[in-house]
Chains A and B, each alone.
Chain A
């Protein structure tokens, strides 16, 4: 198949499925909380609606940085789609993209000059402490599979069985990472409603729709990486089922937990990381 067509189709699929999964998550959260909740395509409708609204650009914003940072967020998740489903390249690159996403959050917040964005910017620096489980997961996968290449990891799993069963604590740590990137999660301190919308507060109209597209692709890619690296070679229907199951579990957790304050959120993630690292080292030695 033509490479460009492959990339385009994967980006569009990532966007559409990511959007529906985010909508599904909101629906499940609402039903758990005893309310009907928005329709599942609500996130998609919001994204499309924002493209035809009037956008306001704050007078105090750092132009063109304010617009360029939203474009960079989209660029890195397109790069993740290219590195993941299209070429199955390096896993380290996916993690580098995850860290650059934090940068995007940090600077989308501070670029507008609003005090809410500034608070989100500082909180994004705190949430970078959640990188500790990220590196531990990388190192443990490398120790187990001997490679950082996604297609080699898939081959390893087709021979030795899913990594989910052999390094379960690394899978749990990666799941905590996914949880921290989801909407309304206990660790979502950069988007908490106590700072209005965090880094998205001052990105109106078109730029908000643009950020939502990046969010959808990011959600799809994180779930795709989890399923590929920890469960192994799957067909497309199996991917969809796996993603729905993961989104449901995340929705259950998000519906029953409040958003933690920044220090608690960081300490919780770092503690889970230490338990995971210590446990994995013990398991590897046995």
Chain B
């Protein structure tokens, strides 16, 4: 029975059939943070962005319309729940599914706005996310082929690291990097954040950063250098 992952004790395991969720203090904190932020998003209104008008001294206000607000809030809550799930899952394939879902929903959250430059940026980010889904799933399948399991708890008890596992992890990291927009792909995502709807932008950014921290944990579990 596995009792420690990267030095921290496992607090609990929730077996949902084949898909096992495990919690160490680290996963539990990120899970709770994702849920707390999702709750805050669910109860918040959006802000009104104020910009200067050309040709007069007035202000131009950009608000989020009611229908758009409801649609984007729904997608933001889905994204938050997917992030929370990705934080505690003990299954590599489940993790890649959640990451893919986060990528799709990120595009959807800004897909409803009416600003051309934001939509352009979302389109470019969408292209990269789609391209990145290949290394994402190929990496997961190579790890399955090399170790015989996609359960992170089972891989944690393996004592060796083959070169194929290393290659699979690199592909997995590339896939996550493209889907979440870590450097250098962040340059496409930055322009997406200029639109109003601050709570929804939070979940785009939060999902990316939490997923990156979690994938580092998974990579360190898979690749044991000693």
Contact = CB atoms under 8 A, between A and B. Distances in A.
Asked if chains A and B are in direct contact (CB within 8 A), the reply is: yes
Interface of A: 59-66, 68-69, 72, 75-76, 79, 83, 89-90, 92-93, 95-96, 99-100, 102-103, 106-107, 110-115, 118, 121-122, 124-126, 128-129, 131-132, 135, 138-139, 142-143, 146-149, 152, 266, 270
Nearest to A263: B187
Given A89-B8, A90-B24, A143 B49 contact: no
A279 to B, nearest CB: 18
A65 B44 contact: yes
Contact of B217 (A59, A76, A92): A92
Contacts of A146: 226
Contacts of A148: 6-8, 220
Interface stretch (B90-98, B138-146, B154-162, B201-209): B201-209
Interface string B158-194: 0000000000000000000000001110100111011
Contacts of A143: 225
A63 B46 CA distance: 7
B190 A63 contact: no
B104 interface: no
A286 to B, nearest CB: 15
Instruction: Specify the main secondary structure of chain B where it touches its partner.
Output: helix
Contact of B201 (A107, A114, A115): A107
B3 interface: no
B202 to A, nearest CB: 5
Contacts of B29: 79, 83, 93, 96
Contacts of A61: 47
The residue among A59, A92, A95 with the most chain B CB atoms within 10 A of its own CB is A92
Nearest to A103: B206
A93 B47 CA distance: 31
Interface of B: 6-8, 24-26, 29-30, 33, 36-37, 40-41, 43-52, 61, 182-184, 186, 189-191, 193-194, 196, 198-199, 201-202, 205-206, 208-210, 212-213, 216-217, 220, 225-226
B83 to A, nearest CB: 11
Given A99-B213, A110-B47, A129 B186 contact: yes
B193 A149 contact: no
Contacts of B209: 99-100, 102-103, 128, 131
Contact of A110 (B7, B198, B206): B198
27 contacts: A60-B47, A60-B48, A62-B198, A65-B45, A83-B29, A89-B26, A90-B26, A93-B26, A96-B30, A96-B210, A99-B213, A102-B209, A107-B198, A107-B201, A107-B202, A111-B199, A113-B49, A113-B50, A115-B50, A115-B51, A118-B49, A125-B186, A126-B190, A128-B186, A128-B208, A135-B216, A149-B8
Contacts of B190: 122, 125-126
